[in-house]
Chains A and B, each alone.
Chain A
Amino acid sequence: MWARLKPGQGPLDYGNRLWLKTLFAAIFIMLYVPIVTLIAFSFNTDKRGVVWRGFTFQNYVKAWNNDALIEALTNSIVIALFATVLSTIIGALVALLLWRFRFPLKTAYEGFMALPIVIPEICMGVALLLFFANTGMMETVVSWIWPFNLANIIIAHVAFCFPFVTVVVRSRLVGFNRQLEEASKDLGASEWQTFWNVIVPFMKPGLIAGALLAFTLSLDDFVITFFTSGPETVTFPVKVYSLVRRGVSPEINAASTVLIVITVVATVLAMKLQAPAKQGKG
């Protein structure tokens, strides 16, 4: 005799256990209900945003017409774009350096490089503030024309974003088959041609992932930005913080929803770009 099993009852079909399904659902709800609520209430007619009173797009119009909010959002996006490009380049170069070369104190260097990932943001913020204040950059930069007056914030963001890029790109490079590089040289390519034609394409998924990480980190950073921005400059998270102190208005919901959409679209695009072309096997 042997036990007759219905599909899904086998000892290895963990996915069908009730407790596991429940746990999964609970985690899922914990993670996504706040976001869904935020988006839903951006369409709420209620001024206070606590009770659902009806559907409207009015909040988006109001947010769009709120110059201060738009200015903050524009600042945030511009800072994020600059910080992303710069930290991707610097991060990738550091990753290459660590992957390619052996030099004295390499382990120490690696530790120092990764420091911004682990040290508390508040320390980083204070340190950067002191740096900018003592070098006089605080006063100088703030008087520059937009978007150059954001330079301090951009520098601060690059300083904490690039190690993330380095970590991602480096882990990608570990899987690189050195014979590809040798093959390229053997076929007549110079070091430079090999770098652009073979190594960079291989790093691409890492670069995209790192850039995305940098972009989102920069976009929603509050602490470091708060310390390093001058009195005049406001970014989106800082603006939201100051608005929330006077109560959550549905406008903020609307603006936040836009931000979520931007991030999600960027992520989906990036994933699409990375995905290998789907072609059936002949």
Chain B
Amino acid sequence: MAETIVSIHNVSKKFPGGVTAVDDVSFDIAQNEFFALLGPSGCGKTTLLRMISGLETPTSGQIVIGGEDMALTPPNKRPTNMVFQSYAVFPHMTVEQNVAYGLKVTGVPADETKRRVAEGLEMVKLSHLANRKPDQMSGGQRQRVALARALVKRPKVLLLDEPLSALDAKLRDEMRLELTRLQENVGITFIIVTHDQDEALSMASRIAVMDKGAVQQIATPAELYEHPASRFVADFIGKVNLIDAKVVGQSGKAMSCEAKGLGRLELPGKMPAGDSIAIAIRPEKLKIGGSEPKGAGLIKVAGKVRDVAYYGDTSHVVVEVKDGLDLAVNVQNDSREGGAGVSRGQKVWVHWSPEDSILLTE
């Protein structure tokens, strides 16, 4: 692994009034990473980001950036720059003045400022709007200004607070690609805060999932999705069917469980008998059919289609099985006619291979 650029040691933040926003968090971020802090609103991710930038002081713990302890360094002296959620582009300055601001106030010589501003505007493709005022620009353009303004400072770490949340869907996709491209080009460590799992999954090289002020899991996007460590992570990242089950026995590499709505199942894995677990299966791993599937070792269950939602590329089907268990199944609409091939009220069979089940203990 590359050299560590940001390390966070046992950082906590308690606000007056007793709210603990960040609770004893520790992790390292390596040089050149595109790191995402992901979690529901109020999980402390923004507070953590603000503590890295220096706009908030930790109650306890240590933040080290580039090998230096930041405890006594004010935000204007830190090697970090932030892209704010509201962009915070200075309304009384032109685009060019906005981008030059950070260089001007720190006494960078005029000719160098000019060169770097030109470069920065080039980078975000705003050179032609250099003399515009922010109120004559769209949200996407303002965000690019905020980005250029931070990047011309050549920070060691760029912090992005929900950078895409205020953009419309199409622009968001564009910016997502743009941000990844930028990160590769400039070679700066990016830390992005987001509540949108798609955003985190598609952009980040590593994701820290946070809940209630604590880090639940840190992993690559694929690892988080396919090997979540807890119910919370499985549920938060993507859609998932969570089925309560109890381990009843063990035989070699397989164990048998008694699952709600599914009855006795043979699953690969080793867990002590009597344990309560959750079986998690992603909806796209489930297959649906009108007749009982043939094939050994498949987990299969009969049910009735309760709901079909059509999304164009996929259809989301909800199948009602025994004991009040509902299974969400995603079906690819891979031919033009027919759609999901099932309709509401139809009796169907749902099946999947046991290896696609994720076993969760917590």
CB distance from A180 to the nearest CB of B (A): 5
Indicate if the CB atoms of A277 and B133 lie closer than 8 Å.
Answer: yes
Q: At the interface, yes or no: B352 with Cβ under 8 Å from chain A?
A: no
Known contacts A187-B150, A188-B105, A202-B92; is A179 also within 8 Å of B86 by CB? yes
Known contacts A179-B84, A182-B84, A202-B92; is A187 also within 8 Å of B105 by CB? yes
Known contacts A182-B55, A276-B135, A279-B136; is A189 also within 8 Å of B105 by CB? yes
State which of B73-81, B168-176, B334-342 sits at the interface with chain A.
B73-81
Interface of chain A residues 164 through 204 with chain B (CB within 8 A) = 177, 179-180, 182-190, 193, 197-198, 201-202, 204
Known contacts A177-B88, A187-B81, A187-B102; is A276 also within 8 Å of B133 by CB? yes
Taking CB atoms, residues of chain B closer than 8 Å to A4 are: none
CB distance from A172 to the nearest CB of B (A): 13
Size category, A interface: 20 to 34
CB distance from B101 to the nearest CB of A (A): 6
Known contacts A185-B55, A190-B76; is A197 also within 8 Å of B133 by CB? no
Measured CB to CB, the nearest residue on chain B to A180 is B88
Indicate if the CB atoms of A186 and B136 lie closer than 8 Å.
Answer: no
In the docked arrangement, what's the CA distance between A281 and B80, Å? Answer: 34
In the docked arrangement, what's the CA distance between A276 and B134, Å? Answer: 12
Q: At the interface, yes or no: B143 with Cβ under 8 Å from chain A?
A: no
Indicate if the CB atoms of A179 and B88 lie closer than 8 Å.
Answer: yes
Taking CB atoms, residues of chain B closer than 8 Å to A279 are: 132-133, 136
Looking at chain A's contact residues, the main secondary structure is helix
Indicate if the CB atoms of A184 and B84 lie closer than 8 Å.
Answer: no
A interface footprint on B66-106 (CB within 8 Å = 1, 0 otherwise) = 00000000111100111011101011100000000110011
Known contacts A186-B55, A186-B81; is A197 also within 8 Å of B86 by CB? no
In the docked arrangement, what's the CA distance between A186 and B92, Å? Answer: 18
Interface of chain A residues 238 through 282 with chain B (CB within 8 A) = 276-277, 279, 281-282
Q: Please give the number of chain B residues whose Cβ is less than 8 angstroms from any Cβ of chain A in the complex.
A: 30
Q: At the interface, yes or no: B149 with Cβ under 8 Å from chain A?
A: yes
Q: At the interface, yes or no: B13 with Cβ under 8 Å from chain A?
A: no
Taking CB atoms, residues of chain B closer than 8 Å to A184 are: 90, 101, 105
Measured CB to CB, the nearest residue on chain B to A281 is B136
Known contacts A179-B86, A276-B135; is A197 also within 8 Å of B105 by CB? yes
Among A186, A202, A204, A276, the residue within 8 A (CB) of B76 is: A186
Interface of chain B residues 127 through 151 with chain A (CB within 8 A) = 129, 132-133, 135-136, 146, 149-150
Taking CB atoms, residues of chain B closer than 8 Å to A177 are: 86, 88
Q: At the interface, yes or no: B32 with Cβ under 8 Å from chain A?
A: no
Q: At the interface, yes or no: B153 with Cβ under 8 Å from chain A?
A: yes
Taking CB atoms, residues of chain B closer than 8 Å to A185 are: 55, 74-76
CB distance from A134 to the nearest CB of B (A): 46
Taking CB atoms, residues of chain B closer than 8 Å to A179 are: 84-86, 88
Measured CB to CB, the nearest residue on chain A to B56 is A182
Measured CB to CB, the nearest residue on chain B to A189 is B105
Measured CB to CB, the nearest residue on chain A to B84 is A179
CB distance from A205 to the nearest CB of B (A): 10
Q: At the interface, yes or no: B53 with Cβ under 8 Å from chain A?
A: yes
Known contacts A188-B102, A197-B101, A197-B105; is A183 also within 8 Å of B76 by CB? no
CB distance from A101 to the nearest CB of B (A): 16
In the docked arrangement, what's the CA distance between A277 and B131, Å? Answer: 12
Closest 6 CB pairs of A and B: A187-B102, A183-B88, A179-B88, A189-B105, A188-B106, A201-B92
What are 30 A-B contacts defined by CB distance under 8 Å?
Answer: A177-B88, A179-B85, A179-B86, A182-B82, A183-B90, A183-B146, A184-B101, A184-B105, A185-B74, A185-B76, A186-B80, A186-B81, A186-B82, A187-B101, A187-B105, A188-B76, A189-B76, A189-B101, A189-B105, A193-B105, A197-B90, A197-B101, A201-B90, A201-B92, A277-B133, A279-B132, A279-B133, A281-B136, A282-B129, A282-B132
Which positions in A face B, CB cutoff 8 Å? Answer: 177, 179-180, 182-190, 193, 197-198, 201-202, 204, 276-277, 279, 281-282
Instruction: Other than A187-B149, A187-B150, A189-B106, give 12 A-B pairs with Cβ distance below 8 A.
Output: A177-B86, A179-B84, A179-B86, A183-B84, A185-B55, A186-B54, A187-B81, A187-B153, A188-B77, A188-B102, A276-B135, A277-B133
Which positions in B face A, CB cutoff 8 Å? Answer: 53-55, 74-77, 80-82, 84-86, 88, 90-92, 101-102, 105-106, 129, 132-133, 135-136, 146, 149-150, 153
